[in-house]
Structure 1
Amino acid sequence: MKYILLPMLIFLVFGCSQKKHSLKGQTEWQRQTNSNFKDASKSPLKAKDLKNFTGLDFFDFDSTFVVKAILERTPNSEWFNMKTTDDRLSKERIYGILKFQIKGNPYQLNVYQGEENMQTEGYEDYLFLPFLDDTNGNISYGGGRYIDLRIPNNDSIIIDFNKAYNPLCVYNEKYSCPIVPRVNYLDIEIKAGMKKFKKL
């Protein structure tokens, strides 16, 4: 059975609302994420990795990577098929361009809206922010990471890179994960969020 991006959102958001025994983690988001990974009923981990799981590796929380971005909406953008890690195609469109600064330097990322999410109750305002950076393949997953966002009421939005997470296919090849578009490369080390997963 193949899974798409939506289950990861359910896993991270709704799973976090349940009271579970917290594992290690510097922030509440890290602890709740570790708790969800430890829970066999929802964990994406394979049995052999779950057996000895004590927690994911995260960068230390860094407020430098909590940024306020200006959202430039692109209402006339065309739908396209975003490639994934298997033969599935995810129908997406560029919802807008996020412009922000880190350490005084300007950056921008495309933020995407998926057709399936728009048609799913409770996820109509979900936005998908995949990105690549200079930690990839070294201390973070080589294929990039994801951040979940919601459509704001105005033209500004907070991006918290401390909540950047790995695609589910990092943990189990049964998942189908969108491939981060090259245009969303940041020429900087984003030392925040999840690090590379160390398989057993």
Structure 2
Amino acid sequence: MNRRNALRRTALLAGSAVATPTLLSLLQSCKEQKRVDWIPQFLNQEQAVFLASFVDTILPRTETPGALDVKVDIFMDLMYAKAYDQAAQEYVKTEIDKFNAACKDEYGSVFADLSEEDKTAVLKKAEAETAKFNPGVWGTAVGEQKPVAFYRQLKSMALWAYFSSEEVGKNILSYDPIPGEYLGCIPLSDVGNTWSL
């Protein structure tokens, strides 16, 4: 073996010895990075990760599918992209960033990076501090509606998206694609499960 080849191999070995810990730390950081496995049409990556974490926290998978299983986050992103005007879109993005900033101030991390206990604490605090939607009759709110904070709007849309999904409507709620006679006055015990429309 000539001297030039020996020096080249020594340099390669020394370089790989220095680079290996760096490469391993890069791989480890990628493994821990939270990502969504779909391309958001409206939200940026960090906002989409927030939304996925938010809906998964309020509607996790149990013996029934969770929000991520029925793609609530993807549906909400599409709603923001296609059904909201520019002012409403700006509001959504601004409020998501504010929500994450508040989590960072209080807990040191954005919502998606918090522990399950901290996420629960954040949501309990938001639940206690924000006005609720008034009960409604046939889609109309009863009484004067106080302004509803972004948290409540986000939660409401997530619940609506979840219970409107085909999977939940057909396989979790009671579902009759060809309804029979109308029975207006039956005991509640005979109704059974909540019905899907």
| TM-score range for the pair, normalised by the shorter chain length | under 0.3
TM-score, structure 1 as length reference: 0.26
TM-score, structure 2 as length reference: 0.26
- Structure with larger Rg: 2
Q: From the two aligned structures, give the one with the greater strand fraction.
A: 1
Q: From the two aligned structures, give the one with the greater helix fraction.
A: 2
